Amino acid sequence: MSIPRSSGVLLHPTSLPGPYGIGELGAQTRTFIDWLAAAGQKYWQVMPLGPTGYGDSPYQAFSAFAGNPYLIDLTTLRTEGLLHDADFQAVPDFHPQKVDFGLQFIWRNQMLERAFAHFAYGEGAFPELATEFAAFKASEADWLDDYALFMALKRAYGGLPWNAWEPAVRDREPAALAAAVESLGQAPERVKFTQFLFTRQWNAARAYARGRGIQIIGDIPIFVAMDSSDAWANRRQFYFDEQGQPTVVAGVPPDYFSETGQLWGNPLYNWDVMREDGYAWWIERFGGSLKLYDVIRIDHFRGFAAYWEIPFPAETAIHGRWVPAPGHEMFEAVRAALGVLPIIAEDLGVITPDVEALRDDFEFPGMAVLQFAFGGGDFAVNDFLPHNLRENQVVYTGTHDNDTTRGWWVHAVEQERHNFRTYTSSDPTEETFVPLLMRIAFETRANLAVVPLQDIFNLGTDARMNLPGTTGDHNWTWRYNAGDLRPDLATSLRKLTEETGRA
């Protein structure tokens, strides 16, 4: 894939402003897209859009194919008659700048259940919507049927993970599944309808972006969540024992972020089994992602060359081992089925020649993060220094896993600040450092420069999106106020974009 010289902004939709406690795919989405266009940007990068579970991480979703119901714009449903004025009589007092996922789980799911009830049982008729819904169910049945049943069962089992369900249901015995479908009533249909609403609104947002000259970069994690419909419905393609417990799990060894590594806990793929049907699951997954995004960023790309296998159970990721993966063979199969894929490879971390070869053989752009460029005593050999970047690369000031750029400068060790001053022959203040690093990113030869919105706002650590290896209410919760998206910021970003040849 060849990306023209351009730039974009990283912002997850949950961070958009709005009245109901979390970003939605409605008016504020269109406002943000308009702002991007006014700022001369060509890309909007989002994190995974899947339905989140425990810990609220978009990288641990209940499905690799489904959308997050929390993003459904309720105002649109009200306009369409799927929600009534009476449904909004008891709206919680939401925090304007922080997502409360627990509150969303309770209140928003109740609102979506009401929308389904009005559609299925209400006095009003929705013939056109019913036709669209039927077509959606037919076209997405390969993943949607399993996902809808999984979520309905999960609710019936009080939220327990699938490997704690009744053994016959856990093991997907046909008679047990048939009995479950009979007992669950309309619950799976309600899940399907919610997915239909999400897809309908996301498609509308994407079409609006396309009309304004904005393409969507979407993030997909290499691994699926342990508690997901993907793992439950495709158990043979992972390393599970007879009770549905993983025998090995994913993570990364000790690195910049953690002295004990990161124990992610995702089930690992049984590549030998996946090879048997020509990597059909991966072809379906990439095909599904292309329905959502214009460009796909693969998180933890190196796992397609070799992955860190940790015996289960484990308390840390220290005692693992590198295991080769058939990434080259898999990508060949996907390319044969779908054509040349618009993929960005997140090639950060422990990168070895086999990872570089896999990336370069398919001409996938890699990544560079400028916050990583100035560490170490002999920083002159750092691959992320601006003069070392390649054209077929995407440069970031920071990502969702980094501190904001202002926060990084404040908390950086003195050696890093000294290295930056030496390299740039400058002595920035806390206030001037962020626009300086943004300019450096835009001036590099990397074809695409992406900046988190927090950096455009010049915000500190309080606006950080995620701290890897931690859980709690500080991750994934940041939102901005509508007034923060100022026209003068768009003007200055457009000026920078034009001056660096990215317009």
What is the number of other CB atoms lying within 10 angstroms of the CB of residue 72?
A: 25
Residue 459 CA to residue 462 CA, distance in Å, equals 8
Q: Which two tokens stand for residue 243?
A: 């009770």
Residue 384 near residue 367 (C-beta atoms within 8 A): no
**b/e per residue 460-482 (b: at least 16 CB within 10 A):** beebbbbebbeeeeebbbbbbee
Q: Confirm whether 299 is a catalytic residue.
A: yes
Give how far Cα 443 sits from Cα of 162, 373, 395, 496, 498, Å: 49, 15, 10, 9, 11
Q: Which two tokens stand for residue 366?
A: 């890699």
Residue 150 CA to residue 63 CA, distance in Å, equals 10
Q: Which of 132, 255, 332, 401 is catalytic?
A: 401
Residue 317 CA to residue 305 CA, distance in Å, equals 19
Q: Which of 346, 347, 403, 416 is catalytic?
A: 346
Q: Confirm whether 346 is a catalytic residue.
A: yes
Between strands 215-221 and 43-46, the pairing is parallel
Closest to 27 measured CA to CA, from 490, 492, 482: 482
Q: Which of 56, 230, 299, 416 is catalytic?
A: 299
Length of the chain as a residue count:
503
Which residues pair with residue 249 across a beta bridge?
Answer: 267, 310
Residue 20 CA to residue 156 CA, distance in Å, equals 27
Q: Confirm whether 145 is a catalytic residue.
A: no
Active site residue ranges: 299, 346, 401
